[in-house]
Copies of this chain bind each other. A is one copy, B any other.
């Protein structure tokens, strides 16, 4: 098992938003577990009530929030998947998901879902932080630190050059629709242009690189932060997008 980083005893979301102390761990949590309230799979410092908060508490299926969306994926994954044994491929994904989870949770983000070699994280819901774009950037740098060297070291030998190995990350911030979609199969996620742009930027990022939209960069960069400004054409967007590569 991986090391658990500073696990909360009560749900951070319920405490921050309603001042209700929902026990997540220890004997006090047992009666809650019986009725299905337990630590969320998306962030162990939140409970399953928080996941569905907007539905149960707000009586709506979807809400609009200002949030930051982060996508990260393993470069050259399609090529690697053809060359690797199934057990090796499982090990690679286990390692990647676990490192991403640790980096995202440390910044109070939600690991919303994984899709093959890609991870989708949301910052500013349900744990609110005015500097959510900054938190996403910190998580992104942490993911790069945890994964880049190891990818380059362990994934050579599959016909790929070290320059093709590593993780690519895309980040955008703005108004996002967050909720449950579908009736037969329900899916709890974020949708909208912010999600789409973050996904596109991730696919355009070089190994080891973080590509941020202008909005995300301007609200997250602090003193001493450095990035290269570029204008790029992004599929599905009419106008060229200003992005920052770091």
Hey, which bits of chain A sit against chain B, CB under 8 A?
A: 1-2, 41-42, 44, 61-62, 64, 76-79, 81-82, 86, 89-90, 93-94, 97-98, 101-102, 105, 111, 113-116, 120, 177, 179, 181-187, 189, 191-193, 195-196, 199-200, 235-238
Contacts and interface: CB of A to CB of B under 8 A. Distances in A.
Given A78-B236, A79-B236, A89-B192, A185 B116 contact: no
Contact of A78 (B76, B89, B185, B196): B196
Copies in the complex: 2
Contact of A101 (B93, B120, B182, B235): B182
B115 A113 contact: yes
B86 A64 contact: yes
A97 B185 contact: yes
Contacts of A183: 1-2, 94, 97-98
A2 B86 CA distance: 38
Given A81-B196, A185-B97, A116 B2 contact: no
B181 A237 contact: no
